[in-house]
Amino acid sequence: MTRLLPFVFLINVVCFFGIAWVIYDVDPQGAPWYIFALLVLLIFFAIFGILGLVLYSVRTRFYRRYSVRWYIYTSFKMAFFVAFFVALVATLAVLQLISIFNLILAGLAVSLFAIYSFLGKKN
C-alpha cells in the first residue's frame, strides 16, 4: 500500500500543472464546457491526493498505533470528503450559483454522506 504513495504525489503534480494550464492559458469566455469539467476534476484529485498524503504523514508521525493500511484508508477517506466539498463549491462557482444557501446545502450533503460512510451499515 505504501508503494502507491509516490504515484499519488506524481498525480498531484500533474493535477497542479493542469490547474495552472486551465487558469493561465484558457479563455473562460470561449472555452467549451469540458474544460470546466476538467478543471473541477483536477481540483478534486489535487486536493484529494495532497490532503490524503498530508493526513497520512501527520497521523503516522505522531500516533503509531494501527497498521499502515488502516492509516492510508482512513486518511484518504477523510480527504475524499473535503475534496468532494471543494469540488462541489468549484462547480457552483463555475456555474455562478454561489450563495450562502447553496453552500449550506453542499456542506450538509457532504456531511450526511460522510456520517453515513463512517457510521453506516458495515458488511
Question: Domain range spanning residue 114?
Answer: 2-119
Band (pLDDT 50/70/90 cuts) for residue 37 is very high
Q: Please say whether the beta carbons of 117 and 84 come within 8 A.
A: no
pTM as predicted: 0.87
Domain count, the chain: 1
Between residues 23 and 2, which one has the greater pLDDT? 23
pLDDT for position 121? 61
Alpha-carbon torsion (11, 42, 114, 78), positive or negative: positive
Q: Please say whether the beta carbons of 46 and 15 come within 8 A.
A: yes
Residue 2 sits at the vertex; the CA angle it makes with 49 and 13, to the nearest 5 degrees, is: 30
Using CA atoms, how far apart are residues 44 and 86, in angstroms rounded to an integer?
A: 7
Does residue 72 surpass a pLDDT of 90? no
Q: What is the mean pLDDT of residues 26-50?
A: 93
Between residues 117 and 38, which one has the greater pLDDT? 38
